[in-house]
Structure 1
Amino acid sequence: MEPHVNLAFSMRSTSGGYAILLGAGASIASGMPSAYDVQQELITQMAAVEGETEIGEPHAWYKARFGHEATYDALLAALTTTPFERRALLHSFFEPDEGERERGMK
Protein backbone atom coordinates (compact mmCIF):
# COMPACT_ATOMS: atom_id res chain seq x y z
CA MET A 1 0.00 0.00 0.00
CA GLU A 2 1.20 3.53 -0.77
CA PRO A 3 2.46 5.47 2.27
CA HIS A 4 0.02 8.35 1.69
CA VAL A 5 -2.91 5.90 1.77
CA ASN A 6 -1.77 4.53 5.14
CA LEU A 7 -1.41 8.07 6.45
CA ALA A 8 -4.87 9.05 5.19
CA PHE A 9 -6.47 6.09 6.96
CA SER A 10 -4.53 6.76 10.16
CA MET A 11 -5.54 10.41 10.15
CA ARG A 12 -9.19 9.59 9.59
CA SER A 13 -9.37 6.92 12.27
CA THR A 14 -7.38 8.88 14.86
CA SER A 15 -9.40 12.08 15.12
CA GLY A 16 -7.32 14.78 16.78
CA GLY A 17 -4.20 12.65 16.66
CA TYR A 18 -2.40 14.60 13.96
CA ALA A 19 -1.57 18.22 13.29
CA ILE A 20 -0.86 19.41 9.79
CA LEU A 21 1.46 22.37 9.42
CA LEU A 22 1.16 24.27 6.18
CA GLY A 23 3.05 27.29 4.95
CA ALA A 24 1.54 30.61 3.95
CA GLY A 25 1.23 29.49 0.35
CA ALA A 26 -1.60 27.11 1.23
CA SER A 27 -3.79 29.87 2.62
CA ILE A 28 -2.89 32.37 -0.10
CA ALA A 29 -4.07 29.93 -2.76
CA SER A 30 -7.49 29.83 -1.08
CA GLY A 31 -7.87 33.60 -1.27
CA MET A 32 -6.51 34.48 2.16
CA PRO A 33 -4.25 37.52 2.27
CA SER A 34 -0.67 37.18 3.41
CA ALA A 35 0.48 39.07 6.50
CA TYR A 36 2.18 41.51 4.11
CA ASP A 37 -1.11 42.06 2.25
CA VAL A 38 -2.89 42.75 5.55
CA GLN A 39 -0.15 45.23 6.50
CA GLN A 40 -0.46 47.00 3.16
CA GLU A 41 -4.23 47.38 3.57
CA LEU A 42 -4.04 48.53 7.19
CA ILE A 43 -1.42 51.14 6.30
CA THR A 44 -3.56 52.33 3.39
CA GLN A 45 -6.54 52.65 5.75
CA MET A 46 -4.41 54.53 8.30
CA ALA A 47 -3.31 56.98 5.61
CA ALA A 48 -6.91 57.49 4.48
CA VAL A 49 -7.96 58.34 8.05
CA GLU A 50 -5.22 60.98 8.03
CA GLY A 51 -6.65 62.35 4.77
CA GLU A 52 -3.95 60.96 2.51
CA THR A 53 -5.22 59.01 -0.48
CA GLU A 54 -2.20 59.00 -2.82
CA ILE A 55 0.49 57.39 -0.67
CA GLY A 56 2.34 55.29 -3.23
CA GLU A 57 3.93 52.24 -1.62
CA PRO A 58 2.25 51.82 1.80
CA HIS A 59 5.31 50.58 3.70
CA ALA A 60 7.41 53.48 2.43
CA TRP A 61 4.68 55.94 3.44
CA TYR A 62 4.47 54.39 6.90
CA LYS A 63 8.23 54.59 7.45
CA ALA A 64 8.33 58.22 6.29
CA ARG A 65 5.34 59.09 8.49
CA PHE A 66 6.31 57.25 11.69
CA GLY A 67 10.08 56.90 11.37
CA HIS A 68 10.24 53.10 11.61
CA GLU A 69 9.28 50.00 9.64
CA ALA A 70 5.74 48.71 9.91
CA THR A 71 5.36 45.29 11.45
CA TYR A 72 2.21 43.21 11.74
CA ASP A 73 2.30 43.23 15.54
CA ALA A 74 3.04 46.94 15.81
CA LEU A 75 0.20 47.83 13.44
CA LEU A 76 -2.28 45.75 15.40
CA ALA A 77 -1.06 47.21 18.69
CA ALA A 78 -1.40 50.75 17.35
CA LEU A 79 -4.89 50.19 15.91
CA THR A 80 -6.47 48.06 18.65
CA THR A 81 -6.35 47.84 22.42
CA THR A 82 -8.23 44.60 23.17
CA PRO A 83 -8.39 41.10 21.70
CA PHE A 84 -12.01 41.80 20.71
CA GLU A 85 -10.97 44.88 18.71
CA ARG A 86 -8.12 42.94 17.07
CA ARG A 87 -10.51 40.18 16.02
CA ALA A 88 -13.02 42.71 14.70
CA LEU A 89 -10.31 44.53 12.72
CA LEU A 90 -9.01 41.33 11.13
CA HIS A 91 -12.38 39.65 10.58
CA SER A 92 -12.88 40.80 6.99
CA PHE A 93 -9.40 39.67 5.99
CA PHE A 94 -9.94 36.05 7.04
CA GLU A 95 -13.69 35.39 7.17
CA PRO A 96 -15.45 35.17 3.81
CA ASP A 97 -18.30 37.48 2.96
CA GLU A 98 -21.24 36.02 1.04
CA GLY A 99 -19.65 36.60 -2.38
CA GLU A 100 -16.34 35.06 -1.33
CA ARG A 101 -18.17 32.10 0.20
CA GLU A 102 -20.04 31.51 -3.09
CA ARG A 103 -16.71 31.58 -4.97
CA GLY A 104 -15.16 29.10 -2.51
CA MET A 105 -12.66 31.61 -1.17
CA LYS A 106 -11.19 31.76 2.32
Structure 2
Amino acid sequence: MKVRVKHWSAVAQWRWNTGNNNNNDNYAAADDDGDICGICRVPYEGCCPTCKMPGDDCPLIWGQCSHVYHMHCLLKWLGTPMSKQQRPMDRRPWVTAERKVNDNNTRSEAP
Protein backbone atom coordinates (compact mmCIF):
# COMPACT_ATOMS: atom_id res chain seq x y z
CA MET A 1 0.00 0.00 0.00
CA LYS A 2 1.35 3.42 -0.95
CA VAL A 3 0.56 6.54 0.99
CA ARG A 4 0.62 9.92 -0.68
CA VAL A 5 0.78 13.06 1.47
CA LYS A 6 -1.34 15.78 -0.12
CA HIS A 7 -0.91 18.45 2.52
CA TRP A 8 0.89 18.93 5.84
CA SER A 9 1.16 21.71 8.40
CA ALA A 10 4.13 22.25 10.66
CA VAL A 11 3.52 23.32 14.25
CA ALA A 12 6.17 24.72 16.56
CA GLN A 13 6.36 26.23 20.03
CA TRP A 14 9.09 28.40 21.50
CA ARG A 15 9.91 29.50 25.02
CA TRP A 16 12.39 31.90 26.51
CA ASN A 17 15.16 30.07 28.34
CA THR A 18 14.75 31.67 31.76
CA GLY A 19 16.25 28.80 33.69
CA ASN A 20 12.93 28.21 35.46
CA ASN A 21 11.62 25.31 33.36
CA ASN A 22 13.29 22.54 35.39
CA ASN A 23 14.10 20.58 32.19
CA ASN A 24 10.44 19.69 31.76
CA ASP A 25 9.21 19.49 28.17
CA ASN A 26 5.57 19.29 29.24
CA TYR A 27 5.30 22.80 30.62
CA ALA A 28 2.57 23.56 33.09
CA ALA A 29 0.17 26.44 32.66
CA ALA A 30 1.70 29.90 32.65
CA ASP A 31 0.19 30.77 36.03
CA ASP A 32 3.36 29.55 37.72
CA ASP A 33 5.24 32.54 39.21
CA GLY A 34 8.42 31.42 37.45
CA ASP A 35 6.81 31.76 34.01
CA ILE A 36 5.29 35.24 34.10
CA CYS A 37 6.56 38.81 34.24
CA GLY A 38 6.30 40.08 37.80
CA ILE A 39 5.19 43.53 36.60
CA CYS A 40 2.57 42.97 33.88
CA ARG A 41 1.70 39.36 34.91
CA VAL A 42 1.81 38.19 31.26
CA PRO A 43 3.72 34.98 30.39
CA TYR A 44 7.23 35.53 29.05
CA GLU A 45 6.26 33.93 25.74
CA GLY A 46 3.60 36.60 25.33
CA CYS A 47 4.46 40.22 24.97
CA CYS A 48 4.23 43.13 27.34
CA PRO A 49 1.23 45.48 27.09
CA THR A 50 3.37 47.91 25.04
CA CYS A 51 4.23 45.43 22.26
CA LYS A 52 2.12 43.74 19.60
CA MET A 53 4.31 40.72 18.80
CA PRO A 54 6.25 38.48 21.21
CA GLY A 55 9.83 37.41 20.56
CA ASP A 56 12.96 39.44 19.96
CA ASP A 57 10.98 42.69 19.72
CA CYS A 58 9.86 42.21 23.33
CA PRO A 59 13.01 40.83 25.05
CA LEU A 60 13.48 39.70 28.62
CA ILE A 61 15.89 41.23 31.10
CA TRP A 62 17.54 39.49 34.05
CA GLY A 63 18.53 41.17 37.28
CA GLN A 64 21.33 40.14 39.63
CA CYS A 65 18.50 39.12 41.95
CA SER A 66 17.64 36.39 39.36
CA HIS A 67 14.21 37.91 38.69
CA VAL A 68 13.20 38.14 35.02
CA TYR A 69 10.94 40.76 33.45
CA HIS A 70 9.88 41.96 30.02
CA MET A 71 12.44 44.67 29.29
CA HIS A 72 9.76 47.23 28.40
CA CYS A 73 7.86 46.58 31.65
CA LEU A 74 11.00 47.07 33.72
CA LEU A 75 12.03 50.24 31.90
CA LYS A 76 8.56 51.69 32.40
CA TRP A 77 8.65 50.65 36.09
CA LEU A 78 12.08 52.21 36.68
CA GLY A 79 10.91 55.40 34.94
CA THR A 80 8.19 56.04 37.50
CA PRO A 81 9.02 58.30 40.46
CA MET A 82 7.61 55.84 43.01
CA SER A 83 10.02 53.08 41.91
CA LYS A 84 13.07 55.02 43.18
CA GLN A 85 15.13 52.87 40.74
CA GLN A 86 14.41 49.82 42.91
CA ARG A 87 13.45 46.29 41.90
CA PRO A 88 9.70 45.64 41.84
CA MET A 89 9.85 42.42 43.87
CA ASP A 90 12.15 43.22 46.79
CA ARG A 91 12.70 47.01 46.67
CA ARG A 92 16.48 46.87 46.42
CA PRO A 93 18.45 48.86 43.81
CA TRP A 94 18.10 47.37 40.30
CA VAL A 95 21.29 45.90 38.85
CA THR A 96 21.16 44.11 35.49
CA ALA A 97 22.84 40.71 35.51
CA GLU A 98 25.92 40.31 33.37
CA ARG A 99 25.44 37.87 30.52
CA LYS A 100 28.14 35.56 29.24
CA VAL A 101 28.46 33.27 26.25
CA ASN A 102 28.83 29.59 27.13
CA ASP A 103 30.45 26.81 25.08
CA ASN A 104 27.36 26.31 22.89
CA ASN A 105 27.50 29.96 21.73
CA THR A 106 24.21 30.67 23.45
CA ARG A 107 23.69 33.31 26.06
CA SER A 108 23.29 32.29 29.66
CA GLU A 109 22.89 34.11 32.93
CA ALA A 110 26.03 34.75 34.90
CA PRO A 111 26.00 33.10 38.34
TM-score class, shorter-chain normalisation, is: under 0.3
**Higher Cα radius of gyration:** 1
Q: Which has the higher strand share?
A: 2
Calculate the TM-score normalised by the size of structure 1.
0.27
Calculate the TM-score normalised by the size of structure 2.
0.26
Q: Which has the higher helix share?
A: 1
**Structure with larger RCO (C-alpha < 8 A, sep 6+):** 1
